[in-house]
Structure 1
Amino acid sequence: MDGATDPGFFAPALWHRPGRGPRYQQLHDHIAAAIRDGRLADGAQLPPERELAELAQVSRVTVRRAITKLVAAGQVDQRRGAGSFVRRGSVKLEHTLSTLTSFTEYMRARGLTSTSQVLARGLFPPAPDETVALGLATSARVARIERLRSADGVPMALERSSLPADILPDPDLVDLSLYTVLRAAGTAPHRALQRISAVNLAAREAERMALPEGAAALLIERTGYLASGRPIEFTRGLYRPDIYDFVAELRLEDT
């Protein structure tokens, strides 16, 4: 019998030790250890929150805190309307910062099938950050595309890409890969600058990325330039840190 379907698996006698930390942390550690050693099988569904609270003899708040931490660590997936499922043995993807590659190309090179859900697109007056990044006049128009990027069905990133209207006059041309469209037009960026920071997801962002509200994410702001030096792409992306690593190679300069 799999641990997730064995009511005795969550009994307090198996995981709770007085004086050894908060109950939610001990419950988390118990479930996390079972995922790592295979007692909880990949894809197994955990009991619903109310049932798990009864089995573990704790409050639903305690259960929620334990599960939220497992989700943030990438060991459990929460699917709206379906429940919580074990995700064992997930592998982080490493993305080098030294090469300018589209999301679609990057996933294809790793044998993954990428999909993009367009959340919004069109031509708009530029927002202040777009005006600064792209060097636009306030009277200009920008092509803006907001997409949920997934690989093999797993949400990985939320991206908002903005380009001057003369570079992308028809945002509807972009389906899966923005860079494919730009290369065809001879306007793909030649180089880019990226800024990376850590943020916590707001409720709407977290829901779209199948993560709990307040979960940590990587915020990447990228400005792409033509060979002439003109900025033509400003992308703001939120990436899941539990399955996405950014890697940079550093070299010691001669002095």
Structure 2
Amino acid sequence: MQSNPLSDRKLLALAPDPNSPQSLMVQFYQKLKIAITAGYWLPNESLPTALQFAQLFDLPLATVQVVFDRLVGESWLLQTSTQYYQITPKIDQPMSHLSNFSDLLHARGFKAGSVWLKRETGEPDLEEEWRLKLKTGEKVSRLQRLRTANDQVVGYESTTLPSHILPNPDEVGASLYQYMHEHQLVIAKAMEEIDAYICDQAMAELCGFVPGQALLRLTRVSFLPNGRAFELTYSYFRSDYYRYVVEYN
């Protein structure tokens, strides 16, 4: 059942100020976006309709609809029907430090999950051998999985570690970082590369994405305190659900 915004006091904080030099549309857009990112609504909970917002704040319906359309275009909202909108699991990755994917989702109120596709050991390919600076004859363990937010696939992840660090990849449960913590594998430094990637047919079939869709590819190499590279991870995320936030001081 949809809540009645007229009885929801927290929505009154979104009311535009008629005495502000900014337009009512800009004010409503800014305040609604802040409310979405602050967790005013839980995942899968529908926002009040555009008509309800218009009536509550005495705004033209067209003004409210422009704001809704803008937030849909920016992937903050997902239109579920002709009337109702829900927030999306948009993930802000700060570049000042490494963040756990699950923690980022939990911070936004979403249930983080993963679906294992493959856990295996084998011979390294050229990229793995180069990135991890492996010696001749060293083997690797690979972990491949889909990353989900509220059971919706938002990305694909492939991680490789030297097999002497991860002899049995089946030992990794829901969290690779938990495994690292339990085995005193401390990330002292990490190098991360970010580039664009066009979803091909194989990735589309694997993740349920659209072929040709823009993805954000992250390539991360993590290092132990002794300087040894020990983790190579490729992550592919929907660009409408994932973004990097850079803060300069």
* Identical amino acids, percent of aligned pairs: 29
Verify the 8 A CA contact 2:220 2:234 in the aligned structure 1. Answer: yes
Residue 195 of structure 1: which of 189, 193, 203 is its match?
Answer: 193
Q: In 2, distance between residues paired with 1:199 and 1:76?
A: 23
Q: In 1, distance between residues paired with 2:81 and 2:114?
A: 23
Correspondence for 2:85: 88
Correspondence for 2:105: 107
Does the residue aligned with 1:106 lie in a helix, a strand or coil?
Answer: helix
- Deviating beyond 6 angstroms after TM superposition, the runs of 4 or more aligned structure 1 residues are 70-77, 84-87
- Cα gap change, 1:198 to 1:176, in 2 (>3 Å): same
* Aligned-pair CA distance for 1:93: 2.0
1:5-24 map, 5 Å: none
Correspondence for 1:142: 140
Aligned length: 181
1:1-255 map, 5 Å: 88-91=85-88, 92-251=90-249
Q: In 2, distance between residues paired with 1:147 and 1:90?
A: 24
Consecutive unaligned residues in structure 2, runs of 5 or more: 1-48, 52-71
Consecutive unaligned residues in structure 1, runs of 5 or more: 1-36, 40-69, 78-83
* Aligned-pair CA distance for 1:109: 3.0
- Cα gap change, 1:237 to 1:85, in 2 (>3 Å): farther
- Cα gap change, 1:188 to 1:110, in 2 (>3 Å): farther
Q: TM-score, normalised by structure 1?
A: 0.63
Correspondence for 1:46: none
The two structures, once aligned, show a CA RMSD in angstroms of 2.8
Q: In 1, distance between residues paired with 2:148 and 2:216?
A: 16
Letter in 1 for 2:87: S
Query: How far does the alpha carbon of each residue in 1:128-154 deviate from its partner, in whole angstroms, 9 at most, with x for none?
Result: 111111000241101100010101112
* Aligned-pair CA distance for 1:213: 0.5
Q: In 2, distance between residues paired with 1:231 and 1:136?
A: 9
Q: TM-score, normalised by structure 2?
A: 0.65
- Cα gap change, 1:248 to 1:119, in 2 (>3 Å): same
